[in-house]
């Protein structure tokens, strides 16, 4: 039987810990036998899990002969990794053990050096922090999970369940994985990546900024067919100066800012109204529904219809 060891680090996020336990423990083979044996392992007798204290039945020795190790996220992903945990994970990796992380569990796994040079993911809000902390990683914030063979990483907590189902499919095939997905009341594969879950807000502009009044005007005029010259005229400056000020204060260009503001408003309308996609595209300033659909999918990773089905 395939053994899955779930590593409970100090300040472990309870959902990240419990999700793989539930998904793997409920997996059944066609003859009814369980597909996995689950171990919860920890460095110490008691682990701080926020709302409660966890007492794990296995120590780090439980990682040694496991087939798969799961590293859940922790409340402070930048917390240093202890030497015993680092050594245990590296030793398991040297033996060929499959190791997967859930959400910000990518941080402690990255601290072992095992992910150096690999494409990885984590929760989109922490992707920049991960890239800064570990410049040797290729951080992709737009996917639900990344499978590098021996090492796998996933995005936010629910994406950890997607990753577990993916590993079940690798181990036992699609039929067993589909049955596990039904028990978890979730699709075997979700359409799109985590970009669809990212709120497309613009970067905040400090109060009192010389762009504050202009950005307010842009938000109020998203439906207008605006070009760069129109925005510069409203700002009372040249297009060249406008572009320079936008880059300095928002980190992007006026038209890129406008496109993202339009997509954010479109997300809101898709979530809260029954308006047609064509009408929403027009309401947020896109000249054609084709242009709107293309821009929306490039920004969020899914079509407007798929986004509405997910969030309406």
Does the pTM exceed 0.75? no
- Kindly list the distances between the CA atom of residue 17 and the CA atoms of 11, 52, 163, in Å, as whole numbers in the listed order: 11, 13, 14
| CA atoms of 143 and 191, how far apart (whole Å) | 11
pLDDT at residue 15 in the model: 92
Does the structure show a pLDDT above 80 at 201? no
Q: What is the mean pLDDT of residues 165-169?
A: 88
3-state secondary structure of 286: coil
| CA atoms of 251 and 203, how far apart (whole Å) | 8
Burial readout 36-63 (b: 16 or more C-beta within 10 A, e: otherwise): bebbbbbbeeebbbeeeebebebebebb
| CA atoms of 263 and 270, how far apart (whole Å) | 10
The architecture in CATH of the region 212-311 reads: Orthogonal Bundle (1.10)
pLDDT at residue 189 in the model: 55
CA terminus-to-terminus distance, the chain: 42
pLDDT at residue 99 in the model: 97
Residues 118-155: pLDDT tens digits? 999 999 889 999 999 999 999 988 788 888 889 999 98
pLDDT at residue 59 in the model: 95
| CATH number of the structural domain 2-194 | 3.40.50.880
| CA atoms of 46 and 68, how far apart (whole Å) | 23
Among the ranges given (174-178, 181-185, 197-201), the one the predictor scored with the smallest mean pLDDT: 197-201
| CA atoms of 124 and 144, how far apart (whole Å) | 10
Does 2-194 match 212-311 in CATH topology? no
| CA atoms of 46 and 76, how far apart (whole Å) | 18
Q: Counting beta carbons within 10 angstroms of the beta carbon of residue 185, is it exposed (0 to 12), middle (13 to 18) or buried (19 or more)?
A: exposed
Residues with Cβ within 8 Å of 255's Cβ and at least 6 positions away in sequence, in order, are 228
Domain boundaries, the chain: 2-194, 212-311
Residues 273-308: pLDDT tens digits? 889 999 999 999 988 889 899 888 888 778 888 878
14-25 vs 157-172: helix crossing angle, rounded to 10? 30
Do β-strands 145-147 and 138-139 pair in parallel, antiparallel, or remain unpaired? unpaired
Residues 51-89: pLDDT tens digits? 889 999 999 999 999 999 999 999 999 999 999 999 999
What the block records as the tokens of 8 is 């409970």
């Amino acid at each position: 039987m395939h053994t899955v060891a779930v590593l409970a680090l100090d300040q472990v996020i309870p959902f990240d810990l419990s999700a793989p336990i539930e998904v793997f423990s409920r997996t059944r083979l066609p003859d009814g036998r369980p597909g996995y044996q689950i171990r919860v392992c920890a460095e110490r007798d008691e682990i701080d899990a926020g709302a409660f204290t966890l007492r794990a039945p296995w120590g780090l020795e439980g990682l040694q002969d496991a087939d798969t190790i799961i590293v859940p996220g922790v409340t402070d992903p930048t917390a240093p990794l202890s030497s015993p945990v680092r050594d245990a994970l590296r030793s398991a990796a040297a033996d060929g053990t499959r190791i997967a992380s859930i959400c910000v569990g990518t941080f402690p796994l990255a601290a072992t050096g095992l992910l150096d040079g690999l494409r990885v993911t984590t929760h989109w809000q922490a992707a920049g922090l991960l890239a800064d902390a570990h410049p040797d990683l290729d951080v992709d914030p737009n996917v639900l999970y990344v499978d590098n063979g021996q090492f796998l990483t996933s995005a936010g907590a629910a994406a950890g369940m997607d990753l577990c189902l993916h590993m079940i499919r690798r181990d036992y095939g699609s039929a067993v994985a589909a049955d596990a997905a039904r028990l978890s009341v979730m699709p075997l594969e979700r359409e799109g990546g985590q970009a669809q879950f990212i709120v497309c807000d613009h970067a905040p502009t400090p109060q009192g900024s010389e762009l504050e009044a202009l950005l307010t005007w842009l938000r109020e005029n998203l439906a207008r067919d605006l070009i760069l010259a129109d925005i510069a005229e409203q700002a009372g400056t040249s297009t060249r100066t406008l572009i320079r000020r936008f880059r300095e204060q928002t980190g992007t260009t006026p038209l890129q800012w406008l496109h993202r503001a339009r997509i954010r408003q479109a997300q809101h309308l898709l979530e809260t109204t029954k308006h047609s996609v064509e009408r929403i595209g027009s309401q947020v300033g896109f000249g054609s529904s084709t242009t709107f659909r293309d821009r929306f999918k490039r920004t969020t990773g899914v079509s407007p219809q798929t986004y509405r089905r997910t969030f309406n």
